[in-house]
Structure 1
Amino acid sequence: MTLIACKDLGVTLGAPLFSDLTFSLAKGDRLGLAAANGRGKSTLLRCLAGTHEPTSGEVTRARGLQVGQAQQDVPADALALPLREAVLRALPPERQDGEDWRVDIVLDDLEVPEDLRDRPLGALSGGWQRTALLARAWVIEPDVLLMDEPTNHLDLGRIGFLQTWLATVARGTAVVVASHDRAFLDAVTARTLFLRETRSQIFTLPYTRARAALAEADEALERRFENDMRQAAQLRRQAAKLRNIGINSGSDLLVVKTKQLRERADRLEEAARPAHQERSAGTIRLANGTTPSKALVALDDVAVATPDGQLLFRTGKLWINRGDRVVLLGRNGSGKSRLMALVHRAVQGDVPGLSVAPTVVEGWSDQGLGQLNAFATPWAAVTERFDVGDQRARALLAGAGIGVDLQGVHLSALSGGQKARLAMLALRLTRPNLYLLDEPTNHLDIDGQEALEEELCAQEVSGLLVSHDRAFVRGVGTRFWQIQGRRLVEVDGPEAFFRDALAGG
C-alpha cells in the first residue's frame, strides 16, 4: 500500500534545491536521504510532512495518514517545558487530557530515565533533546516517521539503542532518515535517495552499496556523454566535407545529405547529458608540517581526572610517534576529551607525566570549534592569525565554502558546516605536525567527512583523535587506545568496542 507518493516534485529557494523528483513510500519502507549540507534534505522532509509547499509537482498522502517528524532542533517554545509536557503537547489538544498515558509509554520505550522527565528540555543534553524530539514524533502513533539527523549528539550506546528501537518497536512503520552518519544509514535503511538539483537517484540498497552504484551510474553516464559528443563532432566533420564537395560539384543530393548529418549532430548534442557535478560546499585541505622527532608525545602513567579531582583513569606508559593516528575509544563521560585537553595543555606548558617533543606544532580543534571563538568574523579568523595578504585570504575563504558575502559577517551567522570548514582551513594554515581533533566530523556532511579522511591519510598526519563516527574511525585510525575501567590500554582495532557500545554493554 502506498502511503506517500511524490510526482515531479521540485523546490526552489533562491536557487533550485531539487526538481522532477518522483518516488513513493510504502508500509515498512526504510529510506535514507543523502545530500550535501543545504541541498534540500530537511526541505524534502517538510514537503512529505505537509508543512512546506513545493514549488512544483505534488505530494499525495493516503487518507488519514499520520506523519511524525523528528526535527533537528527543539522548537523555541518547547525549551522551557518539562520533557514530559513537551511530548504531551505533540498530541492534538483534544487528546491530551484523555491520552496522557501515551507519553509515559513512549518515554519507557525510549528508555528515558525518570529523573529527566520533569526537567526543562533546554536544561538537557543534546542527546536527550534529540530523544525528546523523537518521542514527540512517535507519541502520535505515526504511519510514517521522518527523522532529520537523528544521531546528532548521541553516543554509540544511544545510537545502538536507536538502531534496535527502529528494528523492533518501529518495525512496521515507514521511516525516512536524513543523516550524515554513514554507518547508521547502512544499519537502518534499505533504500537510498541521493537528492540532487536535477536527476536525483534512488537505489534499493543501503547507503554504502548505493553510493558505489551511484558512482557506477555517473561514470556510465559520463562515458555515454563523451561518446555522444565524439559522434556529434564526427558527424559535423563529415557534413563539412560533403558540403565542400557539394558546392564544388553542384550536387543537390550532397547538400541534402549535409543537412541531415548536421541535424543528427544537433539531436545528439541536445540529448547528451553530462554526469552530475556536485556543487562544492567548500574544499577541505590539510598540511602536515615536518619534524625530526620520532616520538611526539609520551605519557608516563598520567592521571586523568574530573575538574573536582575524581580519578577517571590512568594512561600507563604510551606514546604517539610520527605517522601515528591514534583514536581514543570510550563511552561519553569516560574522559576522552579530558585527555585531549591535557595533551593540548602539555604543548603549552608542563603537565606531570606528559612530555611533548619541543618540535611539535599542534593543530587543535575541540568539539564546539572553540578555537574560533577569539575571532568575530571568518575574515578575522584568517587575517589576524596568518600573514597571507588580503587577496589570498579571500581566495582561501572562498575555497573553503565561505564566499565574499559571508567573509565579513559574524561567525554566528555561519552554518555548522561552514564553521567546520573554516576550522579546517585554520588548521591547514597552522601547518601542524601533531593534530588533536575532538569530534572533527561534527557538522560536516558526508562529502566533507570523506574529504577530511582522505586528507588525514594522504598527508600522513600524526595525531590524537576522538570520534563517534564509526566510518571515520575505521577510515583514519592506525592505532587505538581504549578506556577500560580506570586504565587506558592499546587495542588491535575498534570493532569490539563498537559492538559492545552499540549493544549497550
Structure 2
Amino acid sequence: MINLKNLTLRRGAKVVLQDASVTLHAGEKVSLVGRNGAGKSSLFALLTGKLHPDSGDAELPPRWRLAEVAQNMPETDEAATEFVLQGDTPLMEAREALAAAEATGDGHAIAEAHQRFEEAAGFDAPARAQALLLGLGFKPDQLDQPVNSFSGGWRMRLQLARALMCPADLLLLDEPTNHLDLDALVWLESWLKRFEGTMLVISHDREFLDAITRVTLHLDNAQLTRYSGNYSAFEAMRAERLMQQQSAFERQQDRIQQLTRFIDRFKAKATKAKQAQSRVKALERMEKLAPVLTAADFSFEFREPESLPNPMLSLKDVSCGYRGEASETVIVRNVHRSVLAGQRIGILGANGQGKSTLVKTIARALPPLGGQITEGKGLAIGYFAQQEMDVLRPDDSPLDHMIRLAKEVSPQAREQELRDFLGSFRFVAEMAYQPVGTMSGGEKARLVLAMLVWQRPNLLLLDEPTNHLDLATREALSLALNEFDGSVMLVSHDRALLREVCDEFWLVSRGGIAPFDGDLDDYQRWLLDQAKQQREAASASAPATASPNTSAEAGGANRRDERKAQAQARQRLAEQAKPLKKELAGIDQRLAALGTEKAGLEEALAGGSLTPAQLAEHGRRLKAIGDEVETLEERWLELSEQIEQLGA
C-alpha cells in the first residue's frame, strides 16, 4: 500500500503539503482532485521519486513497478508499435538478456533467457501493443509509421499507449483524456476498468472519474482528505462537510462576538476584570475556523441575443474540406441539414471524420467546397476554436483583445468597462495586460469565453471548449449554456457536458452527416463495438513474431500463463473481499441482536405495565435502536456493493 505520514512538501516558497497523512491500499483506483495549482502534479512527482519530502515519510512497496505518461514529445523515427512495446520494461529486459546470451553462445543462459522472454509474454506483445494503438484511435496503416511523422497530440497518445503497455503495480495518469476524442476516451475507460493494479488519476472529466475510480483524494489547503466513492459521491460528501463547517464557523463567530462584547464592556471594571481576562485567554485559545467559501469559484452567463432567426442557417448539398493551390480535399460531402432556433446539437464522430471541419465551415473559417449555406437574417455566430490560438494573438493582452472586439460590436465601450468585464472572468489587475502567449491553457479558454459573451451571439459553435478547463469552470460553462436562449452546436469529449446541454446528436461518419438515433450511452456502446472489430481485424492480420520456439509451444505457454494469471487474480480478489465479508457478517449479527431487543421493547410497551419513567426510557432506547439500524443498513449496502464489484 501507499502510506503518507505527516508529509510536508514545498515547491519554492509554496507549501504543497503540510503534515498530510493518507493511506491507499493495493488495487484501489483513486482520483486526485483539487484546484488548479493546488499541487496534484507535485504529489505525482513525489510518488515517482522526482521530488522528495521536506519532512515526514512517503512509503511505497519497494518492488512495485511504476508507470506514468511521459510529458515530453518523443522525437524518434522508430515505428509506432515498437515505440509502444518499449514501455513494457520486463519485456525489454528479457529481450536484452536474450540478445546477450545469444552473443556469448552459452546454451544454459540462452535457455534461461528464452524462459524469461516467455514469462514476459513476449510472443503476443506486438499484438497487445497494436490493440492499444487501435483503441486510442490509430488506423491500421499507421501502426508501423515512424513516431516523428505524427503531430503533437498523436505523439501524446503514443506516450499514453506506452505507459499502458507496462505491467505496472502503480499507474499514474495526469490528464490522460486531454488529447483524446470521445471514441478513444470510451475505449480507455473500458481498458482501465480491467486494470488490476493500483491507479491514481488526475482528470477534469467528471464521467471518466465516476466510471473508473472508487476512492477520491482531495488536495486542498495543503491537506489530503480521503473520501470513499467516485467523484459524484465526493461532491455530495464534500458539500455536506462544507455545510457543517460553515455552520460551525458561524457558531464560532457568534461566540467570538459574545466574548469580545464582554471583554470590551468589563475589562475596565475592577469587579469584573478577572472574568474579562479569562475570556481574553479563551478567545486566544479558541480555534480559528477558516470561513468556507460555498459559492462557486467562477460563474458567468451569456447575454440575451438581440434576435433569434429561424432557421438559423440551412446547408444544402454542402461539401466541407480544404482547398489547396492545385487541388481540393473533401472530408464531408452532401450535407443537407438545418439549424433551428433553440436547438442543442451534439456533433459525434470518430477522430478524423470531419467534425471540426464542419464547424469551421459553418463558422466561416473555411469556405465550403460545394453547395450552399443560407444564413438567417441577423445570424450572429460565436465560435470557440479547438485551438484557442486560432482566434487569439499571442503578443496581445486580454485588454487588447477586448478593445479590438469592442470596436467591432460595441463602439461605446470604455476601457474601464472592458476591464471590469475581464475581471468577471478572473482577469484582474496585471493579468489584463499580460501577453496571451504566456498564459495557461485554462486562462486562454476563459478569455475566448469572455469574448464570446461580449459578442452576444445567437448561434454558438463550440469545438472542444473544455480541453483546458477545470471542473469548476466546466460546471460554470454547462450552467451558462443551459440558460442560453440561442442555438448550440457542440463538439466535445466531455460526456457530462454533452448530456447536460444537448438534446439531439448528429453523427459524422464515412464522409457524411446523419442524425444519430439514440442517446450518448447508445453511442458509447457503438464505439466499443467498432473498437472491438478493429482489434479483431488487426489480430487476425498481425504477422507471426519470430521466436526460437514453435507456434504450438508458444500457444501452450500463453495458455499456461493465462491460467496462472487468472488464478492469481482470483486470489487477490478473495483477499480483498475477505475483510469486507467479515465486517458484513458482524453487521448481520448486530442487526439480529437489535431486532431481538426491539421486539422485546415493543412487547413491553404493549403490555401497559410500565411506569412513566420506564415508558420514557423504552422510547429513548427504541429511537437509539432505529438510528443504529439505519446506519448499519447503509453500511451493509455499501459493503454488499463493494463485494459485488469485486466479484464482477
TM-score (norm 1): 0.85
Distance 1:383 1:96, change over 3 A: farther
Measured at CA, do residues 482 and 89 of structure 1 come closer, stay the same or move farther in structure 2, by a change above 3 Å? closer
Partner residue, 1:58: 57
Look up the match of 1:457.
482
Kept after mapping to 1: 8 A contact 2:331/2:354:
no
Instruction: Give the Cα separation in 2 of the matches to 1:129 and 1:365.
Output: 24
Question: Does the aligned pair in 2 maintain the 1:363–1:436 contact within 8 Å?
Answer: yes
CA distance, structure 2, for counterparts of residue 363 and residue 54 of structure 1? 47
> What does 1:49-448 correspond to in 2, within 5 Å?
49-71=48-70, 73=71, 75-76=72-73, 78=75, 81-87=78-84, 90=87, 91=89, 97-98=96-97, 101=122, 104=126, 106-112=128-134, 115-125=141-151, 128-168=154-194, 170-171=195-196, 173-243=197-267, 247=269, 251=271, 254-268=272-286, 270-275=287-292, 285-300=301-316, 302-304=318-320, 308=328, 310=330, 312=332, 314-321=334-341, 323-345=342-364, 352-374=371-393, 376-379=395-398, 380-387=400-407, 388-402=413-427, 405-408=430-433, 410-448=435-473
Higher RCO (Cα < 8 Å, 6 or more apart): 1
TM superposition shift of 1:434: 1.6
Q: Which has the larger radius of gyration?
A: 2
Q: Is the partner of 1:352 in helix, strand or coil?
A: strand
Instruction: Note the C-alpha offset of 1:95.
Output: 5.6
Relative to its length, the structure with more helix (as a share) is: 2
The residue type equivalent to 1:104 in the other structure is P
Secondary structure of 2:167's match? coil
> What amino acid maps onto 1:383 in structure 2?
I
Instruction: Quote how far apart the aligned CAs of 1:131 are.
Output: 3.7
Q: Look up the equivalent residue of 2:359 and give its one-letter code.
A: M
1:4 shift after superposition:
4.8
SS class of match (2:371): coil
Q: Distance in 2 between matches of 1:140 and 1:312?
A: 38
Letter in 1 for 2:47: L
Gaps of 5+ in 1: none
Count of aligned pairs: 491
Aligned counterparts of 1:432 and 1:495: Cα–Cα separation in 2: 31
Please give the secondary structure, in 2, of the residue aligned with 1:110.
Answer: helix
Measured against aligned partners, the alpha-carbon deviations of 1:298-351 in whole angstroms (never above 9, x if no partner) come to 334545567645564544453321x33222222223332232123222999997
CA deviations on 1:30-77 (whole Å, 9 max, x unpaired) are: 000122333322221111111123444331221222211124x3x245
Aligned to 2:515: 489
Q: Is the 8 A contact 2:350 2:509 kept in 1?
A: no
What is the identity, as a one-letter code, of the residue corresponding to 1:218?
L
Q: Which moved more, 1:122-131 or 1:427-436?
A: 122-131
Q: Tell me the CA shift for residue 491 of structure 1.
A: 4.4
SS in 2 for 1:386: helix
Kept after mapping to 2: 8 A contact 1:364/1:371: no
CA distance in 1, matches of 2:504, 2:25: 44
Q: Distance in 1 between matches of 2:337 and 2:79?
A: 46
For residues 476 and 130 of structure 1, what CA distance do their matches in structure 2 show?
A: 29
Q: Report the 3-state secondary structure (helix = DSSP H, G, I; strand = E; otherwise coil) of the residue aligned with 1:177.
A: strand
TM-score, normalization by structure 2: 0.68
More off after superposition, 38-47 vs 366-375:
366-375
Aligned pair in 2 of structure 1 residues 378, 18: CA closer, same or farther (>3 Å)?
A: farther
Residue of structure 1 equivalent to 2:7: 8
Identify which range, 457-466 or 373-382, moves more after superposition.
373-382
Q: 1:383 and 1:222 mapped to 2: Cα distance? A: 41
Deviations 1:200-245 (A, max 9, x none): 432111011211211111121111111111122123334445557x
- How far residue 276 of structure 1 moved from its aligned partner, in angstroms, is 5.6
Deviation at 1:457, TM superposition (A): 1.9
Offset at residue 108 of structure 1 (A):
3.9
Q: CA RMSD in A?
A: 3.3
